Amino acid sequence: MTTPSRRPPLRHAMAWLALLPMAATVLWVYVGSVAWSLRVSLSSSRTLPIADFVGLRQYERLFDSERWTTSLRNMALFGALFIVGCLVLGLLLAVFIDRRVKGEGLLRTVFLYPYAMSFVATGLVWQWLLNPELGLQSTVRGWGLAGFNFDWIVRQDMVMVAIAIAAVWQASGLVMALLLAGLRGVDDSLWMAARIDGIPPWRVYASIVLPQLGPSFATAFVLLAVGVVKVFDVVVAMTQGGPGLASEVPAKFIIDNLFVRANIGLASAASSVLLLTVLALLAPWLYARGRAARRDARRLAPGQAQARPDMPGAPRRPAAGAGGA
Amino acid sequence: MTQAAITPPPLPAPRPAPARPGRRAAGLTLELLALALLALAGAAPAPALAQANRAEVIHWWTSGGESAAVKELAKAYTAAGGTWVDAAIAGGEQARSTAINRMVGGTPPTAAQFNTSRQFLDLIDSGMLNDVDAVAAHEGWDKLLPASILGAIRVKGHYYAVPVDIHMPAWFWYSKAAFAKAGIAAEPKTVDEFFAALDKLKAVGLVPLAFGGQPWQEKIAFYAWLAHAGGPEMYLRLYRDKDAAMVQGAPFKAFLASFKRLKNYVDAGSPNRNWNDATAMVISGKAGVQIMGDWAKGEFAAAHQSAGKDFGCFPGFGPHSPYLVAGDVFVFPKTADPAQRKSQQLMATVFTEPATQDAFSNSKGTIPISTDVDVQALDPCAQIGVAIMKDAARQLPSPEMLVSPDLEGALQDVVTKFWNTNESVDDAARAIAAALKS
């Protein structure tokens, strides 16, 4: 009577039991903390959480604060420089290694190595390199080029660029590794066909290979974007937010208010704003992916129930499978 | 013969197997869970061995001289019959937030270090601290302690913290060699003489002002300059009275301009320089003066330089200059345990005893909380400090004793912006007024 295809309910129960700790963690620790922060951000809490309700006063104060608006601007600038810089440099490195250069293993390690270092160590080293009295500038001047100027790290208008340079140096190796994996996944027959047709390699990359790297780019982008929102340690190590307020970032604002300035209400308001910013950026993207997934599902034969993707990442797989079949 | 070689019995067809291992596994899991719980229960708080007057103390004194100093406190407490459990946490902010988190979480330490400041005012307001009124009355703190310190630890008539040292956060440290090279004969006695000295240092190619361009150091320079160039009254009207009208007035703006004038005497590498790197510039004679707290003494000592011979120190300009007072205290979290309460009282008594104070101050480089101490054992700069502390009129409480950490931070943001950008004096004054009102 019982057919083996029917799953015994107990298996489900075991699966749920196994998932329970994680689910509880997510609910209590993550969602719970978010709800708690939102609540605190609506109170007048200073050193300790207070259960009163002051409406949006902390948010008003937040956006009155010049330091906070500067922080948001700096984060946007840093984000643009950092993400574009990493993607471009990482892609160039990946392509360079993909050309089967000699000593590939060594180079790959060398390029990926900075990522194994913490942002704090990176920041400290770059802080010395960029320091006008100790680093590059004084060294080059010592060689006789008296007019050489490289003092970005102490300049109001260029300090975020200096920080982005250090961050790009650190993270582009990771992008290289991700894109290299994507490049290696490109079918060799494409390359052979291109060679027969006499297409120059750069053209093959630009028109054939790169368009296939979408998922790799998306992964790299998400990882880098997360790094931008939480950027903190590299700034603390390099400039401590200075000179003046020129390199303040939101995460530092939050930490300072949370621990130094005994102002957890304001800090919670700031982190809520940060969370909303991330959600506002993510929502259109999730929505677009969701729509694309539904469209793909509809386009595939409606009878193939098992092909319906459950996850936003799934739709590519049926397409690839169709190509292979 | 291996197990695999045995052919399985062909009949009867087994019932769907998956369920059985599953159930067995579930049973096993539950048993394991129960066992684990039992084990936990067994390990759970067995009453600790009764230690006499056990006291767990959270502090952030972790550097060489500091930990030597805290050992003196521990030694004195142990000698008085207590058991000291040291909980050193590097970094003041980390140590303070750990202490607060433990108080909120219901497992407070016996004592926790704070600055002599308003950092623990919220804790008092929410009833999380024990007072030490009995000790204060018995030891006569009202007579013993300087008024500025009393103002920070006495709230609504109750004493909530025991002070252990007095810091002076804004000494002027100068290199004797640099001053000699620049032809500066005597320590400057006025603001004008100070600027003249800086000009002379600049003229001989030295960095006149060794400056660490981090916001907290800029803040120290700012309030030191406010106390000396603006004067104690202007200082108190800003920090004590939060007088927003005063900061928009002409005298305050003149002070702001004078403060910004100091920027002409720092080098290009000053942004984000650590304070001890700036001190090193004075030690090596590359720079003339640094405005920094008395903890800089440790750097000179480590470089085998002695006060009066290799370097000099003055707390301000002239014989009547104000003397800024800061320091460290221990607070005592509220506890229902009478034994803990007893430990707290014992600590408060022991920490303020003259013998403890002498030993502690010598290691720490600070000056003792009361002035009736043997000054011979102290270094020359500390001796100057003790002498000044006898004159109540010269003492000025440091800003952190007068304003909340929140406002202090907001003012620091204004100062660092003013120092590092081309912001006008008017805009800076307006920003300070706005910070005072928020």
pLDDT over 60 (residue B21): no
Can you state the angle between helices B250-261 and B215-225, rounded to 10 degrees?
130
Residues A194 and A92 in one domain: yes
Using CA atoms, how far apart are residues B329 and B323, in angstroms rounded to an integer? 19
pLDDT, tens digit (0-9, with 9 covering 90-100), for B262-313: 999 999 889 889 899 999 999 999 999 999 998 898 889 889 999 989 999 9
Mark yes or no for CB contact A242/B409 under 8 Å: no
Cβ neighbours of residue B182 under 8 Å, at least 6 residues apart? B197, B200, B201, B203, B204, B206, B288
Contact in structure between B293 and B128 (CB atoms under 8 Å): no
Sort out which chain B residues have CB atoms less than 8 A from A17's CB and list them. 26, 29
Q: Spell out the domains of chain B, with CATH numbers in brackets.
A: 54-167+327-396 (3.40.190.10), 171-325+398-437 (3.40.190.10)
Residues A87 and A224 in one domain: yes
The pLDDT-based confidence of B6 (bands split at 50, 70, 90) is very low
pLDDT over 70 (residue B427): yes
Mark yes or no for CB contact B272/A127 under 8 Å: yes
Identify from B272, B273, B331 which residue to disrupt to test chain A contact, counting A C-beta atoms within 10 A and taking the largest count: B272
Nearest to A113 by CA among A170, A182, A176, A184: A170
Mark yes or no for CB contact A245/B268 under 8 Å: no
Q: Does A2 touch chain B (CB under 8 A)?
A: yes
Residues A83 and A219 in one domain: yes
Q: What tokens were used for A59?
A: 């948010």
The CATH number assigned to the domain holding A79 equals: 1.10.3720.10
Domain stops at, among A221, A251, A281: A251
Mark yes or no for CB contact A46/B25 under 8 Å: no
Q: What are phi and psi of B173, to 5 degrees?
A: -105, 130
Identify from B126, B413, B432 which residue to disrupt to test chain A contact, counting A C-beta atoms within 10 A and taking the largest count: B413
Q: Is residue A316 part of a domain?
A: no
Sort out which chain A residues have CB atoms less than 8 A from B215's CB and list them. 240-242
Q: What are phi and psi of B71, to 5 degrees?
A: -65, -30
pLDDT score recorded for residue B197:
97
A 208-267 near B (Cβ less than 8 A): 238-246, 256-263, 266
Partners of B55 in the β-ladder = B84
Report, as an integer, the average pLDDT of B416-426.
Answer: 95
Contact in structure between B123 and A47 (CB atoms under 8 Å): yes
pLDDT score recorded for residue B11:
42
What is the residue-wise DSSP string for A210-246? GGGGHHHHHHHHHHHHHHHHT--HHHHHHTTT-STTT
Using CA atoms, how far apart are residues A83 and A85, in angstroms rounded to an integer? 5
Contact in structure between B273 and B341 (CB atoms under 8 Å): no
> The domain containing residue A128 runs over which residues?
73-251
By C-alpha distance, the chain B residue nearest A134 is B269
Q: Decide the pairing of beta strands B311-314 and B323-331.
A: unpaired
Using CA atoms, how far apart are residues A64 and B90, in angstroms rounded to an integer? 34
Across the interface, of A2, A238, A242, the residue whose CB is closest to B420 is A242
pLDDT score recorded for residue A302:
55
Q: What tokens were used for B349?
A: 């008594």
Cβ neighbours of residue A32 under 8 Å, at least 6 residues apart? none
Q: Is residue A210 part of a domain?
A: yes
The pLDDT-based confidence of B66 (bands split at 50, 70, 90) is confident
Q: Is residue A35 part of a domain?
A: yes
Sort out which chain B residues have CB atoms less than 8 A from A261's CB and list them. 405-406, 408-409
Q: Is residue A324 part of a domain?
A: no
Residues A286 and A147 in one domain: no
Q: What tokens were used for A71?
A: 């922080």
The pLDDT-based confidence of B4 (bands split at 50, 70, 90) is very low
pTM for the full predicted model: 0.81
pLDDT score recorded for residue A8:
65
What type of residue is B331?
A: V
Q: Is residue A216 part of a domain?
A: yes
pLDDT score recorded for residue B7:
40
Residues A290 and A157 in one domain: no
Across the interface, of A47, A243, A256, the residue whose CB is closest to B271 is A243
Q: CA B249 from chain center: how many Å?
A: 32
Using CA atoms, how far apart are residues B331 and B118, in angstroms rounded to an integer? 12
Residues of B with CB under 8 A from a CB of A: 15-16, 18-19, 22-23, 25-26, 29, 93-94, 96-97, 100, 104, 119, 122-123, 126, 128, 213-215, 267-272, 404-406, 408-410, 413, 416-417, 419-421, 431, 438
Residues A98 and A200 in one domain: yes
Q: Does A151 touch chain B (CB under 8 A)?
A: yes
Range in A68-77, B47-56, B154-163, B407-416 with the lowest mean pLDDT? B47-56
Q: Is residue A102 part of a domain?
A: yes
Q: Does A43 touch chain B (CB under 8 A)?
A: no
SS3 track for B100-149 = HHHHHHCCCCCEEEEECCCCCHHHHHCCCECCCHHHHHHHCHHHHCCHHH
Q: What tokens were used for B150?
A: 């009393």
> Is residue A35 classed exposed, middle or buried when 0-12, 13-18 and 19+ CB atoms within 10 A define those classes?
exposed
pLDDT score recorded for residue A7:
60
Mark yes or no for CB contact A134/B18 under 8 Å: no
What sign for the dihedral angle of Cα A185, A188, A191, A197? Answer: negative
Mark yes or no for CB contact B272/A261 under 8 Å: no
Per-residue pLDDT of chain A (325 residues; tens, 9 = 90+): 444 556 667 778 888 899 999 999 988 899 999 999 999 999 999 888 888 999 999 999 999 999 999 999 999 999 999 999 999 999 999 999 888 778 888 888 888 888 888 888 889 999 989 988 888 888 898 898 888 888 899 888 999 999 999 999 999 999 999 999 999 888 888 888 988 998 888 888 888 888 888 888 988 998 899 899 989 999 999 998 889 899 999 999 999 999 889 899 999 999 999 999 888 877 877 887 788 788 877 776 555 544 444 444 444 444 333 333 3
Q: Is residue A307 part of a domain?
A: no
pLDDT score recorded for residue B30:
45
Residues A58 and A158 in one domain: no
Across the interface, of B267, B272, B410, the residue whose CB is closest to A240 is B272
pLDDT score recorded for residue A5:
52
Residues A90 and A186 in one domain: yes
CA distances to A190, A259, B100, B162 from B406, in Å: 63, 11, 17, 23
CA distances to A262, B96, B256, B401, B430 from B252, in Å: 28, 34, 6, 21, 11
Across the interface, of B26, B213, B413, the residue whose CB is closest to A14 is B26
Interior/surface letters B148-170, b for 16+ CB within 10 angstroms, e for the rest = bbebbbbbeeebbbbbbbbbbbb
User: How does the average pLDDT of chain B come out, rounded?
Assistant: 87
The pLDDT-based confidence of B20 (bands split at 50, 70, 90) is very low
What would you report as the CA-atom Rg of chain A, rounded to the nearest whole angstrom?
Answer: 25
pLDDT score recorded for residue A324:
35
Residues A96 and A45 in one domain: no
Report, as an integer, the average pLDDT of B166-174.
Answer: 94
Mark yes or no for CB contact B413/A133 under 8 Å: no
Q: Does A45 touch chain B (CB under 8 A)?
A: no
Residues A141 and A289 in one domain: no
Mark yes or no for CB contact A243/B119 under 8 Å: no
Q: Does A5 touch chain B (CB under 8 A)?
A: no
Residues A93 and A58 in one domain: no
Q: What is the ipTM of this complex?
A: 0.78
**Number of domains forming the structure of chain A:** 2
pLDDT score recorded for residue B275:
92
Mark yes or no for CB contact A151/B268 under 8 Å: yes
Largest Cα span, chain A: 92
Mark yes or no for CB contact A153/B271 under 8 Å: yes
Across the interface, of A48, A244, A263, the residue whose CB is closest to B421 is A244
What one-character DSSP code corresponds to residue B166? E
Q: Is residue A321 part of a domain?
A: no
What type of residue is A82?
A: F
Residues A53 and A93 in one domain: no
Sort out which chain A residues have CB atoms less than 8 A from B26's CB and list them. 10, 13-14, 17
CA atoms within 13 A on the CB side of B268: 15
Report, as an integer, the average pLDDT of B70-75.
Answer: 94
Using CA atoms, how far apart are residues A256 and A275, in angstroms rounded to an integer? 18
Sort out which chain A residues have CB atoms less than 8 A from B96's CB and list them. 259
What one-character DSSP code corresponds to residue B375? G
Mark yes or no for CB contact B420/A244 under 8 Å: yes
Sort out which chain B residues have CB atoms less than 8 A from A4's CB and list them. 16
CA distances to A77, B65, B374, B390 from B383, in Å: 52, 19, 10, 11
What one-character DSSP code corresponds to residue A57? H
Mark yes or no for CB contact A260/B409 under 8 Å: yes
Three-state SS for B172? strand
Q: How far is A278 from chain B (nearest CA, A)?
A: 26
